[in-house]
Structure 1
Amino acid sequence: MSDNSTSETSRRSFLKVGGTAMGLAALGGTANMGVASASGATRPTAGAGGPSPTPFGRPTDSIPNPGARITAVRGSRASDWLPQTRSEVVARHGAIATSQPIAAQAGLRILQNGGNAVDAAVATAAVLGLVEPESAGLGGDMFAIYYSAKDRKLFGLNASGWSPKAWNLDYFHARGFNEKTGMPERGVNSITVPGGMDGMHRLLERFGTLDFDVLLEPAATLAEQGFGIPEQVHADWEESVDVLKTDADSVRVFLVDGKAPPLYSIFRNPDLAHAYRVLQKKGRDAFYTGEIADAIVAKIKKLNGAMTLADLAEFRAEWVDPISINYHGYDVYEMPPNTQGFGALEMLNILQQTGPVLGLDLAKLGPRSPEFWHLLVEAKKLAFDDLYTYNGDPRFTSVPLGRLLSTAHAIALCKKINPRRATPPRVKAPNTAATVYLAVADRWGNMVSFIYSLFEFFGSGITVPGYGFPLQNRGSQFSLDPTSPNVVAPHKRPFQTLIPAFVMQNGHPVMAFGNVGGSEQAQAQATEIINMVDLGMNPQAAADAARFNHDQNTDILQLEPELFKLVGRQLSAMGHHVRESTGDPMGGFQAVLFDRKIHGGRSEQAQTQTQTQTQTQTQTQSQAQATERAASEGTSLAPVNGVYRVASDHRKDGSAVGW
């Protein structure tokens, strides 16, 4: 869903009459997925008297997406919350959750072979850049929150790239763009410096034990050998064909006979394999000062863009302190501006005051109540009013976080909520979507919350020739309003939707989590915290529960099918502009939760001391020593003093893995 087309909906967002079959949502029983005829009877499937034209769900030329034809109803679990899609993965040595199983497995092998959480995160991210190319890759940005078991502390890394030095208001005015038109959405003048590769380098340099030569190998090999196209990626790819057709290199790399690669077909990207091989040998400098930098700038210059070699060479990712609020005894951490992280925290702060201020308890109302959802949506609007009023690059503007995240401010905003009537948002801003997220934990207790993205599907639509990756369009998030804190300027970082999140309690790590989906991220993260803290859901149940998406620009409220059936009519009566939606605009939640345990008669303090000593020893070993140790010891090293519980969203292709 693009920034400049918020009045339109994704082709998969709103359900059409007689169109997309309704999936199981979270709040009721199973949804009726049959297709009813005018008489009320369910139509028989094609080929009812014989074999299906798509046995085993195999696509054909005439039926490229067999899943859209299914009319069966969904089964349920045998116990607990029956609509939950799967059990959590429970593991002790390490865990990964992300949107592509092959990527998660690549990271898991790194953990099993002696690497730590940072090592595994980079390996996983590199594979994601190959197998989910519409969402992330070398041409994008990244952010991470890292919990160091050795330091017992969180570290934040902002690896969002800055604008070319030539970019200012005059640059865009001369090209026909102004405050009314906004920034160009795609193309060469939407491209900012890709920060992700430097971010991965900085993360490994400070906390990793392995280097790019080992960690990029799974992705490089897979790019050469090819991978199968899964369902959600295929749908996203199909949606992106028109964007890719604007650039000859994108057509050559990412389209097959002018179309998206067929569902379940094998896709190879030898150019991206070459990029990974170069990085394996020459490291991050190849990207910012070497041959890949030369290729990026040559492509941009060919399209009359402004980025120079100096713009790339001078860029550095930045270590920052995560920001937080306490929600019912849990410290929820987000990244500071230029991200939308404080929007999620403000939303939680406001909702924490609904009891004292409005006399309405979220837990008592519960998720079957229209008032519950009304409060969440109204809190979101107020938080996003502040988000779009104040957010900007803190190197250029002062964001008053102390006031915005204060209890007094939350009380004042909560008082603005009418418990019975919807209020339009004060500040309009576009909805956006795309991104990949991953959470990783290792046997020493280190945990990583990691997110990176091209912004919209395939970013700018422009691919770097010879290296097989598209460049992001994050620059489209700048403002051309000279009074905005997010106004474009030289070497400035634009408004960022990317927000990895983390939960702590009493100084101990609880959970690394995140949700992709542009502006959905902040509102979904707040909802998921409420699901787990207020409503008592486990992380997988929180992933599976129905969500909402509110568009700050159009004031349209999208609800997944079962939630729409449950509360849509009542919310409409309260003044909300409600639409029934698929899960497409709801993003994708991934989480690794750590449950500390005391076991074997040893105190937690003694266990923690042992874990810290083991971590210190491992961190000081060279890459060769780590590999040799892993080969000789296998899984003999002690696991973490507890269990990891891992969840992955059914709305994506992914999975939770652990060992």
Structure 2
Amino acid sequence: MKLAMRWHVVLIGFLLGTSGAFAADKPTPSTHAAQLAQRPGHAGIASANALATEAGFEVLAKGGNAFDAAIAVASTLSIVEPESSGMGGGFMATIHVAASDHNVFIDARETAPAAVDAKDYLNADGAPNRDTALKGPLAAGIPGEPAGLVWLAKHYGKLPLSESLAPAIRTARDGFKPDSRLLGSIKEEQKNIERWPASSDKFLPGGQPPADGEIWRDPDQAHTLELLGKYGDAGFYSGETAQKLVSAVREAGGKWTLQDLASYRVKERAPITVDYRGYKIITAPPPSSGGVAIAEILNILSGFDISKLDQVHRVHLVIEAMRRAFRDHNDYLGDPDFVKMPLDMLLSPYYADGLRQTILPDKATPSSMLAPSSGADPGMHTTHFSIIDADGNLVAITSTVNYVLGSTFVAKGTGILLNDEMDDFALVPNKPNVYGLLGSKANAPEPGKRMLSSMSPSIVIGPDRTAVIGSPGGSTIITQVLEGILAFIDGGDAHDVAAHKRFHHQYMPDTVMVEPGAFDAATTDALTRMGYTLKERSPWGFMNVVIWDRRTNKLDAASDPRREDGLGKVR
């Protein structure tokens, strides 16, 4: 009870008075002048699929920059990795433009259609209806990825959009051999795929998943990408493609309209920046919850020198910081165009100092002492890629269709697999979504609103090295990126950062998920005696990292060794 009272007093105190920490990113000449003049002279790309990584290099060889390469990687992933991302979903990007030394966050997150009705996602007893939230056309928000790629080409790229899309179009037309993850995803979702004729046509040729080693083609999506490359936004959000999308959705019981598509807009936002141990972390603002949580965790940890602690006490402090950040995630965050959030408070070092005082040195804080709630096991879908080009442009993009193979609904004649991002809203306040995350009315669905996301594409600039980092993984994205940043600050190379063993706590459930091998027996025993409940789970995530050592002007790229199909490459 004393701990709960102290938490309450600290929270009120820092609600009443905090200093601002969330502002437009402004270059500091004294800090960045040397970086502005320096160029790597070569490029690094790390993505979840070798074909996508090679597509990025192909576009660089044509005279493109990192932003053109990002279009090639993202569009190719839409073809070869549809279980995780694609043109029917959205993305979030944190980028650094070398010529102007400027950092930008690009929000191409999906939006709710105008006719959204929370009742569509409830059972008769008022409980969440997971089927309508996750499967079929009602599960899908208005896609943002096509508009985001057009935006990148128009505002930051050097090549015509059609040239950057060319590798994906060729791959879709000529075909490719699906990897084991895609084949496994199709088999996992086969019964849902069979509910929708166009989905069956795409993913179950001849009524069965593609055989291992079989060439698989996607001519409908190739045509959709050609229209996008030729007409830009109008090639997807109006005209032929839009008509096909809306017709397919409405015939299957969805509520999209042509106006929903025509109204979609990409948003540029100021990234969140936080300083930690001499490193500048540039990361995602709302409607991502990731950057706020990462900044809050790092602000809490900044009061300790965790580099000098034994593993048990270091892990203890990181878990407690995670617990408090996810508590705030659930209560406050949503679409900034719809919700007023206390970001100045959440990102304030003074607020972090107050939270730090509630951490006991040798004992876990039960989450029930902070507030009651419940949750579930987080999922492992979405994709991330990182790029640094020869001029020093940096791109961190996390893209998603949400759960495995999104809604499993393909719009006839388009090849576009639609997302199931409506589940990322708090469809029922304080009830967990598929990833176990809770939400309040701040993340309730409204027409045109963007659902909260855990995507955390990030850039880390240190005294001598720069990293571009991110990962898929549902709610674990936040903690994966956090732990990757800490591993980079501790001196790890790209492989070390991507391979770093992971643990995760998200406030509720009050359980620490631990990757096998992360802790030795003594650490596990000590944490258990401190009051933690540890639950081992299979490896998760698919981190892709590129690091620039500015002392040697060398690049280092790595894809997560937990998965066999990614490729991190320097050329």
Q: Is the structural similarity TM-score above 0.5?
A: yes
Return the alpha-carbon distance in structure 2 between the equivalents of residues 172 and 537 of structure 1. Answer: 45
Look up the SS of the partner of 2:443 in the other structure: coil
Return the alpha-carbon distance in structure 2 between the equivalents of residues 541 and 529 of structure 1. Answer: 11
Matches within 5 A, 1:423-434: 423-425=365-367, 426=371, 428-429=374-375, 431-434=378-381
- Contact preservation (8 Å) 1:158, 1:318: yes
Question: Cα 1:423–1:245, aligned 2, differ >3 Å: closer, same or farther?
Answer: farther
- Contact preservation (8 Å) 2:224, 2:415: yes
CA drift at 1:331? 1.1
- Which residue of 292, 309, 325 maps to 1:383? 325
Question: Cα 1:364–1:568, aligned 2, differ >3 Å: closer, same or farther?
Answer: same
Return the alpha-carbon distance in structure 1 between the equivalents of residues 158 and 125 of structure 2. Answer: 47
The residue that corresponds to 1:167 in the other structure is 116
The residue that corresponds to 2:84 in the other structure is 135
Matches within 5 A, 1:242-641: 242-256=191-205, 258-340=207-289, 341-353=291-303, 355=304, 361-366=305-310, 369-425=311-367, 426=371, 428-429=374-375, 431-481=378-428, 484-505=441-462, 510-533=466-489, 535-566=490-521, 567-583=523-539, 586-597=540-551
Question: Cα 1:253–1:295, aligned 2, differ >3 Å: closer, same or farther?
Answer: same
CA displacement, residues 146-204 of structure 1 (integer Å, 9 cap, x when unaligned): 2111111101110112111111446656x748476677233222211001110111111
Look up the SS of the partner of 2:351 in the other structure: helix
Look up the SS of the partner of 2:324 in the other structure: helix
- Which residue of 542, 555, 570 maps to 1:644? 555
The residue that corresponds to 1:654 in the other structure is 566
Question: Cα 1:332–1:279, aligned 2, differ >3 Å: closer, same or farther?
Answer: same
The residue that corresponds to 1:26 in the other structure is none
- Contact preservation (8 Å) 2:468, 2:545: yes
The residue that corresponds to 1:82 in the other structure is none
Look up the SS of the partner of 2:471 in the other structure: strand
Larger Rg: 1
Which letter maps to 1:381? R
Which letter maps to 1:403? M
Question: Cα 1:242–1:130, aligned 2, differ >3 Å: closer, same or farther?
Answer: same
Return the alpha-carbon distance in structure 2 between the equivalents of residues 184 and 106 of structure 1. Answer: 34
The residue that corresponds to 1:125 in the other structure is 74
Which letter maps to 1:306? K
Look up the SS of the partner of 2:518 in the other structure: helix
Look up the SS of the partner of 1:126 in the other structure: helix
Look up the SS of the partner of 2:135 in the other structure: coil
The count of residues paired between Structure 1 and Structure 2 equals: 514
Which letter maps to 1:245? E
RMSD value, Cα: 2.3
Return the alpha-carbon distance in structure 1 between the equivalents of residues 134 and 345 of structure 2. Answer: 33
Return the alpha-carbon distance in structure 1 between the equivalents of residues 219 and 272 of structure 2. Answer: 41
Question: Cα 1:263–1:650, aligned 2, differ >3 Å: closer, same or farther?
Answer: farther
Determine whether 1:241 maps to 2:190.
yes
Question: Cα 1:393–1:278, aligned 2, differ >3 Å: closer, same or farther?
Answer: same
Return the alpha-carbon distance in structure 2 between the equivalents of residues 478 and 221 of structure 1. Answer: 36
Look up the SS of the partner of 2:95 in the other structure: strand
Look up the SS of the partner of 1:216 in the other structure: helix
Return the alpha-carbon distance in structure 2 between the equivalents of residues 471 and 301 of structure 1. Answer: 13
Return the alpha-carbon distance in structure 2 between the equivalents of residues 423 and 444 of structure 1. Answer: 47
CA drift at 1:505? 4.4
Which letter maps to 2:566? G
CA drift at 1:318? 0.5
Q: Kindly, what percent of the aligned residue pairs are identical? A: 31
Return the alpha-carbon distance in structure 2 between the equivalents of residues 481 and 509 of structure 1. Answer: 44
Which letter maps to 2:338? F
Unpaired runs of 5+ residues, structure 1, are: 1-90, 356-360, 599-641
CA drift at 1:385? 0.5
Question: Cα 1:232–1:171, aligned 2, differ >3 Å: closer, same or farther?
Answer: closer
Question: Cα 1:398–1:429, aligned 2, differ >3 Å: closer, same or farther?
Answer: farther
- Contact preservation (8 Å) 2:276, 2:298: yes
Question: Cα 1:229–1:411, aligned 2, differ >3 Å: closer, same or farther?
Answer: same
- Contact preservation (8 Å) 2:66, 2:389: yes
Return the alpha-carbon distance in structure 1 between the equivalents of residues 398 and 128 of structure 2. Answer: 31
The residue that corresponds to 2:15 in the other structure is none
The residue that corresponds to 1:97 in the other structure is 46
Question: Cα 1:334–1:279, aligned 2, differ >3 Å: closer, same or farther?
Answer: same
Which letter maps to 2:340? S
Which letter maps to 1:656? G
CA drift at 1:120? 0.5
Return the alpha-carbon distance in structure 2 between the equivalents of residues 128 and 181 of structure 1. Answer: 30
Question: Cα 1:509–1:578, aligned 2, differ >3 Å: closer, same or farther?
Answer: closer
CA displacement, residues 379-410 of structure 1 (integer Å, 9 cap, x when unaligned): 11110100111110111111111110111111
The residue that corresponds to 1:212 in the other structure is 161
CA drift at 1:481? 4.8
Return the alpha-carbon distance in structure 1 between the equivalents of residues 188 and 119 of structure 2. Answer: 34
Return the alpha-carbon distance in structure 1 between the equivalents of residues 224 and 286 of structure 2. Answer: 31
CA displacement, residues 193-233 of structure 1 (integer Å, 9 cap, x when unaligned): 00111011111110111122211111111112221222333
Which letter maps to 2:460? V
- Contact preservation (8 Å) 1:186, 1:476: no
Determine whether 1:229 maps to 2:157.
no
Return the alpha-carbon distance in structure 1 between the equivalents of residues 560 and 208 of structure 2. Answer: 28
- Contact preservation (8 Å) 1:143, 1:159: yes
Question: Cα 1:165–1:109, aligned 2, differ >3 Å: closer, same or farther?
Answer: same
Query: Normalized against structure 2, the TM-score is what?
Result: 0.85
Return the alpha-carbon distance in structure 1 between the equivalents of residues 507 and 279 of structure 2. Answer: 28
Comparing 122-131 and 481-490, the one that deviates more: 481-490
Look up the SS of the partner of 1:189 in the other structure: helix
Which letter maps to 2:537? S
The residue that corresponds to 2:11 in the other structure is none
- Contact preservation (8 Å) 2:288, 2:452: yes
Comparing 227-236 and 342-351, the one that deviates more: 227-236
Return the alpha-carbon distance in structure 2 between the equivalents of residues 205 and 489 of structure 1. Answer: 29
- Contact preservation (8 Å) 2:398, 2:471: no
- Which residue of 43, 52, 59 maps to 1:110? 59
Return the alpha-carbon distance in structure 2 between the equivalents of residues 228 and 481 of structure 1. Answer: 41
Look up the SS of the partner of 1:184 in the other structure: helix
- Contact preservation (8 Å) 1:345, 1:526: no
CA drift at 1:365? 2.7
Matches within 5 A, 1:144-223: 144-169=93-118, 176=124, 178=126, 184-223=133-172
Return the alpha-carbon distance in structure 2 between the equivalents of residues 155 and 193 of structure 1. Answer: 23
Which letter maps to 1:544? A
